[in-house]
Amino acid sequence: MKFRTLSFVTKLRRLEAQINSASLADYAYADGQAALTILQGRTRSAIARIRDTESLSPTTLNSVLRDANFLLIRATYIIGIIVRSTSVRNGFELYAPFLDICHKLLGDDARLILSSEWQYVPFTYPQSLQELPNFVIIGLPASESDNVLIFPSAGHELGHSVWIKHALATILGPIIISYIDEAFLQARSEIELNFQIPRTADFEQDMFVQMVKSSVFKSAIAQTEEYFSDFLGMILFGESYLHAFEFLIAPQLSGARSSSYPDTHRRSKVISDYALTKLGITIDAYSDSFISDQPPATAQDKLILRLADVVTERVLEQTYSTALGVVTDAKVSTPTAAQTQVVEKDFVQGVPFDGDAAIGDLINAAWHIYKSMEQAVFTKQGREPDEYLSDLVLKSAEIHEIKRYMP
Amino acid sequence: MKATDQSNLERLPLAEIALNTAIELDRPVIGERATVWMRRLAASISNAGSDDFGLVPVYNRALTSVNGEGPKTKADLYAKLKSLSGLLSDDGKIMQDDKIALRDFCLALHDGLLNDGFQSHYNVVDSSRLQ
C-alpha cells in the first residue's frame, strides 16, 4: 500500500481503536453505545473505500481522502460528546422525560445523547453527521448541565432535529424564495449599486443575481430555523424557555453577528412578542436585557443580511404555526399556568411534586420561585436556590419515572 | 440490492452519492454498482429546486467544472442539471468523454458540498448554537 493511502488507513484504524475504548465507558443509557457502534461501521467502510479506490485517478482519490478527513474530524468531535454524556454532572433524571418528547416529535426510533460540554453555550449537532440521522445530540455547558433552570434550552436544540426530521426547509423554503424575489424587486436599485449589476440585468434569471439571492436564502432559511427552534422550545417549556434564554445569553454572548442567526436584541423582542400574543406569557421589559450584535463590516454583507432579515420576519407567522402544528400533532404535554401553580405550592414547601405534570410545569414552578423572594427560604437553609430548585425538579422527575414503571 | 440497503441509500446525503458515483465512473468498466449510483444521483439533481436554493453556487461551480462554461441563467442551470441527469440515467451507454465529464461534475459537486459541510461543522464547534 502506498504511503498516502496507508496513512489514512492508519488514522482511521486509530479512530476505530478510540471508538472501541469509548464503548467500554459506563453509559447510563444505551443510546451513546449505539451511536458508537454506527460510527465504528462508518469508519470501517471508509477504510474499505480507501483500499478499494487506491488505484483510481489521483483526483478521485483526493476526494476520497478528503471525505475521510471530514469523517475523522466529525467522528472525533462526536465521540468526545458521547464520552462526556457519561459525566455525573449531567441531570440524568431529565433524560427519560425528554426522550419521551423526542419520541413523540421525531418518532419511536429517535435516540438521545445528552452531554455536558466544555463550552458555555448549549448546542446540538444534528446536521453534519448524516450517519446518525436518528440521534438527537445535545450538549449543555458543563457548569450548568445539572442546573434545571437552563434545561429548556434543550428544547431549542431539539427544534433543529425536528426541523430536519420534518423536512421543514422544503415547506418554508419555497415561501422564502418567493419573498426574496419580491424583496429583490423592491430593493433593485440598491442591489444594482452595491453589487455592480447592470441595470439591464434580468433579476429573475441572471446567474450572478441568483448567487446573491442564494446568499440571502442561506441566511434567511438558517434564521428561520433558529426562530422555529425558539418557538418549539417556548411551546414545549413555556415561560421558562425565555428565562433560560436570558440566563444564558443576556445581554449578548458573541461579538459580530453571524448571518445564520437573528440579531440577539431583535430575537429577544420577537420571542417575547410571540410569547405574549400566542401563549399569554408576559415578561416585563424582557428585550431590555439584551443588546444588538455588531453588524457585518462590508456594505454588501450588510445588505444581504438586511434583505434576509426582512424575509425572515415575513415568514415568522408561518414559522410559529409550523412549530405549534408539530407539537400539537405529536400530542406532547405542554405546561399550563394552573398546573405550574400546583407544582409551585409543593416546591415552596421544599418538597418534590409527586403528581402528573409536564416537564415544563416543573421548571416553570422552579423559575417562579427563583425569581421571587421565596428563594430566600432555601438560602436560609444553607443551600443556593438554583441547587435546591434543581434537586426538587430532578426528584419530581424521578418520582414520576418510578411511578410510571411501578404504579 | 437488499431492501435495507436501499433504505440506507435513500438517506445518504448528496455528497456521498456524488462521491460514490465519481468512484464508479472512474473505473475502467461501468458495472451494475455504477448504474445504481448514477440513477440515484440523477434523481437527486433532477429534483433540484427552490427548497435547496442555497446549493445554487455549488451546482454552478460543479457545472462550470465540466467544460469551463457555467450556466448564464437560472433556467440554464436547471436545464443543464436536467441534461446531466438524463445522461446519468442512460444505463451504461455513456461515451468515454461523457464519462470523464460526469466524473468531474460529481467530484466538483462532492467538493462543494464538503466545503459546506466543513463550514457547518466549524460553525457548531466555534460558535454557539442557541445564541
For every residue of chain B, which 3-state class applies, written as one string?
Answer: CCHHHHHHHHHCCHHHHHHHHHHHHHCCCCCHHHHHHHHHHHHHHHCCCHHHHHHHHHHHHHHHHHHCCCCCEHHHHHHHHHHHHHHHCCCCCCCHHHHHHHHHHHHHHHHHHHHHHHHHHHHHHHCCCCC
List all residues of chain A from 295 to 314 with a beta carbon under 8 Å from chain B.
none
How close A279 comes to chain B (CA, Å)? 21
Helix (H, G, I), strand (E, B) or coil at A343: helix
Q: What residue of B is the nearest CA neighbor of A159?
A: B130
* pLDDT tens readout for residues A124-137: 765 545 678 788 88
Q: Note whether A130 contacts B: Cβ–Cβ < 8 A.
A: yes
How do A123-124 and A135-141 pair as beta strands? Answer: antiparallel
Q: What is the pLDDT of residue B121?
A: 78
Q: Note whether A182 contacts B: Cβ–Cβ < 8 A.
A: no
Q: Note whether A127 contacts B: Cβ–Cβ < 8 A.
A: yes
pLDDT greater than 60 at residue A99: yes
pLDDT greater than 50 at residue B131: no
How do A111-117 and A123-124 pair as beta strands? Answer: unpaired
Question: Under an 8 A CB cutoff, do B22 and A264 touch?
Answer: no
Contact A42, A78 (CB under 8 A): no
CA distances from residue B41 to A46, A111, A265, B26, B102 in whole angstroms, order as listed:
20, 29, 43, 15, 11
Over chain B, what is the mean pLDDT?
82
List all residues of chain A from 366 to 395 with a beta carbon under 8 Å from chain B.
none
Question: Under an 8 A CB cutoff, do A261 and B131 touch?
Answer: yes
* Residue among B23, B57, B131 whose CB faces A214 most closely: B57
Identify any residues that bridge with A114 across adjacent strands, giving them in sequence order.
A138
Strands ordered across the beta sheet of A135-141: A111-117, A135-141, A123-124
Confidence of residue A380 (pLDDT cuts 50, 70, 90): low
Question: Under an 8 A CB cutoff, do B56 and A213 touch?
Answer: yes
Q: Note whether A70 contacts B: Cβ–Cβ < 8 A.
A: yes
User: Which of A368, A105, A47, A141 shows the shortest CA–CA distance to A236?
Assistant: A105
* pLDDT tens readout for residues A332-357: 999 999 999 999 999 998 899 999 99
Q: What is the pLDDT of residue B8?
A: 44
Question: Under an 8 A CB cutoff, do B128 and A66 touch?
Answer: no
- Rounded to an integer, the average pLDDT of B19-34 is 91
Q: Count contacts between A and B (CB, < 8 Å).
A: 127
Q: Note whether A277 contacts B: Cβ–Cβ < 8 A.
A: no
Contacts of B77 in chain A (CB under 8 A): 207, 210
* pLDDT tens readout for residues B60-118: 999 998 878 889 999 999 999 999 999 888 765 777 778 899 999 999 999 999 998 88
Q: Note whether A55 contacts B: Cβ–Cβ < 8 A.
A: no
Question: Under an 8 A CB cutoff, do A177 and B50 touch?
Answer: yes
Contacts of B51 in chain A (CB under 8 A): 169-170, 173-174
Contacts of A130 in chain B (CB under 8 A): 11-13, 16
Separation between Cα atoms, residue A129 and residue B93, nearest integer Å = 35
Among B59, B100, B130, the residue to mutate for chain A (most A Cβ within 10 A): B130
User: Which of A165, A126, A157, A159 shows the shortest CA–CA distance to A141?
Assistant: A157
Q: What is the pLDDT of residue A27?
A: 86
Higher pLDDT, A133 or A158: A158
Q: Note whether A74 contacts B: Cβ–Cβ < 8 A.
A: yes
Q: What is the pLDDT of residue A401?
A: 84
Helix (H, G, I), strand (E, B) or coil at A83: helix
Contacts of A221 in chain B (CB under 8 A): 54
